[in-house]
Amino acid sequence: MLKTEVNELLTQTGPGTPAGNLFRQYWLPALHIEELPENDCPPVRVKILSERLIAFRDSEGRFGLMDEFCAHRGVSLWFGRVEEGGLRCAYHGWKYDVTGQCLEVPSEPENSNFCSKVQLTAYPLVKVGEILWTYMGDPANQPALPEFEFCDVPEEQTYTSKRWQESNWLQALEGGIDSSHVSWLHSGGLKSDPLFKGTKGNEYNLNDLRPFFEVAEADGGLFVGARRNAEDGKYYWRITPYVMPSFTIVPPRGDHPVHGHFWVPIDDENCWVYTFDYHPTRALTKDERQAMKDGYGVHSRNIPGTYRPQENKDVDYLMDREAQKRGETFSGVRGIAQQDASLQESMGPIVNREKERLVSSDTGIIKARQKLRKAVEALRDEGITPPGVDPAHQRVRSAAIVLPQAESFIDSARDAVAVQPGQAHVSV
């Protein structure tokens, strides 16, 4: 249970809101690089943190992200032309560069400097990995670029997809922290999904449906350990890092690539989900990459030309009751991503957390909310930079490991949950 005022504090991320200010301390994924594939390509509408923006890539390859609407009459610059180092409004030809600075107002005299006084709000847009990241906060406090490992490995070792989720960001993130649902909702996928199946860890998962949970603080957020019984009196641990504000890495399975998510609020009732898979030491195989494109693993199968999953609410998520009855899928919805999204969207656009009935196995969610709340309040009241801004906080890994019962998961796995360039992840 979360009181309404705290729920609103954490779920509202528009300009001027406390949680919106928190998100504006971080570099956030704004677009997939495939959306701006070449110089002078068409501009793209983007909404993040309840701000309507336009993204474009100019003739020199510079990326821009700025107010979607022309300063003149407020028309959308989506209709504009990307040409000769700027984006020109289709209505009267006003032209802007990637910093939002107006370069030309054609109706003014040739020697007028009026355009120098016209500036659209703009944010930096920088490619790191396959993602274009933006920072929407005070330029004076702009942090160093993100250093998540999935963005840092060679491109043949990583794959990122994107999907639209029709719910508030927080209920989506909470699904990533709550690993107790995996043995139920995703039980079908553990047996059959090409990016999951065939590992010893899956047997531990499916043989012990009542894991113990342990939550520990991390510099950038949390580590959530789920412990199940293994052989010879040992424990099988699955360790999920949560880096604030909205990044998680799923514990690995065997030598399969490692996957995770970054949730970015579009507005208070929608979010983007950036989903990645990477392998720290080898290229993804052709089959793995194809499986990711086909919506296996934690990726979605999107409607071509969009980021909307084919299994969406307008088609009842293509519910297949026969597959549910046969046990191929636990919920009747195909694919891990939309199994999660369908249930999280069913909560409503912003779930009323006063009505929930948490149990103690939800400790990870409780602690994550508490960390977010404290960070929001510390920023609002004292200007304290939140955890997760420092790139050092981002250099974490998930892990799956078998340990003697007496050993602490966080002590014994300290190296396993830190990025070790060139070394494989610790996985079972």
Partner 1 sequence: MIDSISSCARATTAEEARYRIDRPIAGRSARIIALDASAAQVVLRVAELPWGASKFYSDATAFDIEADLADADVAIMIATAAADAETASSIARACGERGIMTAGLVLGDLADVGDAVSALRPYARNLMVTEDEDDVAAVLIALRA
Contact residues toward partner 1 (CB under 8 A) are 1-3, 166, 210, 212-217, 269, 313-317, 342, 345-346, 348-350, 352, 355, 357-363, 366-367, 369-370, 374, 405-406, 408, 410-411
**Strand order of the sheet with strand 102-104?**
81-83, 86-88, 95-96, 102-104
Question: How many CA atoms lie within 13 Å of 189's alpha carbon, on the beta-carbon side?
Answer: 24
**Residue 172 CB, nearest distance to partner 1 (Å)?**
14
Instruction: Give the nearest distance from C-beta 157 to partner 1 in angstroms.
Output: 32
Which run of H or of E encompasses 8?
Answer: helix 4-11
Nearer to partner 1, 158 or 342 (CB): 342
Least distance in Å: CB of 264 to partner 1? Answer: 20
157 with 283: CB under 8 angstroms?
A: yes
Q: Is the Cβ of residue 127 or residue 181 nearer to partner 1 in the bound state? A: 181
CA distance 97 to 57: 10
CB 378 within 8 A of CB 388: no
Give the nearer residue to partner 1 in terms of CB position, either 287 or 316: 316
Closest of 168, 128, 145 to residue 31, by C-alpha = 128
Round to whole Å and give the CA distance between 374 and 235. Answer: 33
Q: How far is the CB of 256 from partner 1 (least distance, A)?
A: 28
Minimum CB separation of residue 323 from partner 1 in Å reads: 17
Rounded to 10 degrees, what is the CA torsion of 238, 130, 168, 163?
-100
Minimum Å distance from CB 237 to partner 1?
Answer: 11
- Of 79 and 212, nearer to partner 1 (C-beta) is 212
- Identify which of residues 158 and 312 has a Cβ nearer to partner 1 in the complex: 312
Q: How far is the CB of 123 from partner 1 (least distance, A)?
A: 29
Q: Which is nearer to partner 1, 213 or 307 (CB)?
A: 213
By C-beta, is 47 or 72 nearer to partner 1? 47
Gap between the Cα atoms of 76 and 120, Å rounded: 13
Nearer to partner 1, 21 or 171 (CB): 171
Residues 15, 21: Cα–Cα separation, whole Å: 7
Q: What is the CB neighbour count within 10 angstroms for residue 178?
A: 20
Tokens of 2: 């979360």
CB of 428 to partner 1, least distance (A): 20
Strands 102-104, 122-123: parallel, antiparallel or unpaired by DSSP?
unpaired
CA distances to 52, 57, 94, 134 from 102, rounded to whole Å, are 18, 16, 7, 20
